[in-house]
Copies of this chain bind each other. A is one copy, B any other.
């Protein structure tokens, strides 16, 4: 998974084996929340079965009898840990993370804390996953705030985008750290050797944006840990892939991410309506259908599986709430990739090396 600006066109086909393209011999244990998300436990179990293998042991953390009933006899590389409680989508994250100790989220993250698992995947309450991760897995020393780093299906190749929702408010120093963590993610997880970085704002000039963004621009430009800072980028530059990594505060990033998802769905929906207009357009639609599916797949967020909560002591993957088996399987593979890659040591080295004011 690579392709920096200027490199030849990368077909959307690559996404169909985004994570399986990276192989090695290490055995990684990924704990998976089997109670969180819209389609638990059925689709979670199906996804786990698809992802599990000799190098990828999956621990399903959920309602044990229900999960076991869904497993075929003799399913290999899979185990089950009982944690029947659900943290609902409306629950206050910090409170739930502290009190719901029998939930898939808390039990799974405590397994990571205790060394019983190397990574964690959940399609449940995002705020609760972030809060419980901070509580149990803990931040890498030196990291002020973790950030949710997602992979956007940009053209012609994907873009790393963070923070897409962990921090509604961001001090300039947080944004600087996001740039460093995003660079590490692009390099170590996505395999882009020399990632370029952009700061999301409302104009190219360093003076454009809120005072926080203007100050963050200065901090990032002056930081020698960030190799290829391209300055401010605008909303249109995300999907057109002007840079490999886009940095934003969690409010703007989350709004933007959902805006892109909504726009893609609206446009593809209008395209479908256009094709269904009459016999002529239906025939036309039939002729492009197969190739159009490739485009639709490329725009499908499930193809990457989820977003990684960067800055923690272990990979925590936040999958879409409505993930089906394919999305869960990809999220589990993303968790494995996070664990075997150089992401964590790189962040620890770059953010932990120097004493910085909190």
Contact = CB atoms under 8 A, between A and B. Distances in A.
Interface in A276-307: 277, 280-281, 283-289, 291-292, 294-295, 298-299
A84 interface: no
A196 to B, nearest CB: 17
Interface stretch (A60-68, A113-121, A181-189, A264-272): A264-272
Interface residues of A, number: 63
A155 interface: yes
A115 B260 CA distance: 43
A257 interface: yes
B265 A240 contact: yes
A265 to B, nearest CB: 7
A285 B281 CA distance: 9
B155 A270 contact: yes
A263 B241 CA distance: 11
Copies per complex of this chain: 2
B280 A287 contact: yes
Contacts of A255: 200-202, 234-235, 248, 252, 255-256
Interface stretch (A137-145, A203-211, A345-353): A203-211
A135 interface: no
Interface of A: 12, 90, 154-155, 165, 168-169, 200-202, 205, 208-211, 213, 234-240, 248, 250-252, 254-271, 274-275, 277, 280-281, 283-289, 291-292, 294-295, 298-299
Given A234-B255, A263-B263, 13 more contacts: A12-B270, A155-B270, A168-B202, A236-B261, A240-B262, A259-B260, A263-B267, A264-B267, A270-B298, A274-B291, A280-B288, A281-B287, A284-B289
